[in-house]
Chain A
Amino acid sequence: MSEQDRPGGDITEEQVEALVARLHKQTQAGGYYLNPDEEFTRILVRSLMKNQARYGYQACPCRLAAGEKLEDLDIICPCDYRDADLERYGACYCALYVSAAAARGERTVSSIPERRPRARQDRPQFKQPAATEQAAVPALPYPVWRCRVCGYLCAREEPPGVCPVCKAKKDRFERFM
């Protein structure tokens, strides 16, 4: 493999393999699938590690990160657009994640259109939370939190530290009700 195919040259193959293995385990538990093309997946995982090192979080390798967490919150992997792209195209934007059919090799994946809104104010982290748009919300014993990545809902005082379905972190939750 040439240098241009290998982002994050100081990251070892063992470190990449370890993260690939961890992601496989996590994704399978949540009903998601990594790209079955192992070489392709290793390149992307290495890129995620490069972004972790330079930004402090795993920004999407195929989008230009701003380098500020709030600005990039919607494109931290798994991104807010993954599930809709899996439905529509059988792969997410970078194609690290694929649909069940693509994971079985029944569907090929390719470079897909960008779903992320171009205007900053239209991105999920800057839009008004759903709760404030609703006219009348019945009194609830607990607030309801929604994971912006996978749609998981839970009723508790605070969102969980990690989404039990897609493993997105606490800051990816929004107040839903």
Chain B
Amino acid sequence: MRRIFVYISSLLLCLAVNTAIAQKKKPIPIPPDSTRWLNGFTVQADVASLMTSTLMSHVTYSAEGGIQLDLKHRIFPTLELGVAGADKISTDNIGYKTNSLFERIGVDFNLRKRKIDSKPTNNLFIAGVRLGMSHFNYDVTNVTIADNYWGSSVPLNYLNQSVTKIWYEFVVGVQVEVIKNFYMGWTIRNKNLISQDALGKVAPWYIPGFGQNNGSSWGFNYTLGYHFGPGPKKKNSRTVQTLPNQIINNQITK
């Protein structure tokens, strides 16, 4: 009984001391975020898709670009548009042909946290999501069904098949301002189709903007971009930088 009393009294004492110390400490006020809401927009073009098209000997090809808004230098709503297609002959001489537009809408977040006393920068480490869509027509030609026993086979052609595909993407990447307002960056994307094709349906082999129709695929973009409008570091950047130091100095002199 005595032990319990000692424990409780020492615990209360500790709490009382802690509260007293806490009351003495005045919280350092966090400077208000003075970055303006809209900091212009960046127009981007993807170089990697053009290089991939060349490497793939134009079996698959794509060209894409995008526009990225800069909100508070933290949130980047993004719209990407492109054109892609495929002209492939399989090992069994089955042909696949498509060519269409695709679009993606999404948002990126700047994960890079700036230290209070550090220099403001336009270099970003981004992570985001996209919702992609493509409505396209495709042809699957020269599909032969071999009948080794009864003989005779007629090639089948599935022309002008129409489909709308929707997918989502997880994006991570880096964006660096190489010279004033001129940006370079890369992103790696994990793409996942929302709906799968029914069994037996003549499914598309390649989806513009998504890639090969495997349910899930990876993508890589290397973008060049130009920023229009005011940069985030122009407005009140000095205030943000000096305000905490002033407060700290005032506290020290007190």
A binds B: no
A residues whose Cβ falls under 8 Å from a Cβ of B = none
